[in-house]
Amino acid sequence: MKLLKTLLLRYSVILILMPLFAFSLMHKFYVSVTNIQYSEEDNSLQITSRIFIDDLENVLEERYGVEMNLATEEESEEANYYVEKYMRSKLVLSADGKDRAFVFLGKKYDNDLIICYLEIEDIDLPNHKTIEIENDILTDMFEEQQNIVHLRINGKKKSFVLVKGNNKGMLNL
């Protein structure tokens, strides 16, 4: 009888703890990393954004009602169009308070990440005093989304962690 009670207690504890462990293992970290660097040679800001593929697919499907199948043989022919459209709506750079449009150069995949390549051409950065970035990538989908931005301009480096409600960072040049 004592053995039966001990076994029941152990199984009860396991049954209570299993959902807690499963929940902690299922919790996901939501983050993107954007690097911005000034190229004197090209007189441009070169931008790379790294985003988890599954998160981007989810937001594209929810926002535009499209299924992209990124990084697969079934990838939609419209993938570049929708990735660019989303990036334009969520990533804004300005110089001295004036928004600057970027050129979407393309994308590539690295394991579970999509890397987007963007460029702001003919920016003539030595004549500007500030660069500001607004990054809302995935914040409308995931409350806990963090967008890390690294700026490297004219020998100055600055990093920001941008989140919903605090989505802007500025570098004085």
114 located within any domain: yes
Task: Indicate yes or no: pTM above 0.85.
Answer: no
Q: How many domains does the chain have?
A: 1
Q: Please, which residues have CB within 8 angstroms of residue 79's CB and are 6 or more apart in sequence?
A: 68, 70, 107
E-strand spans in the chain?
A: 31-39, 44-52, 91-95, 98-100, 103-110, 113-120, 130-135, 146-153, 156-163, 168-172
pLDDT digits (tens, 9 = 90+) for 117-158: 999 999 988 889 999 999 999 998 999 999 999 999 878 889
85 located within any domain: yes
Q: Residues in the chain, how many?
A: 173
Which residues span the domain enclosing 140?
28-172
161 located within any domain: yes
4 located within any domain: no
Q: What is the mean pLDDT of each run of 10 residues along the chain (173 residues)?
A: 53 48 55 95 96 95 96 96 97 95 97 96 90 94 93 87 94 86
Longest dimension (CA), the chain: 85
21 located within any domain: no
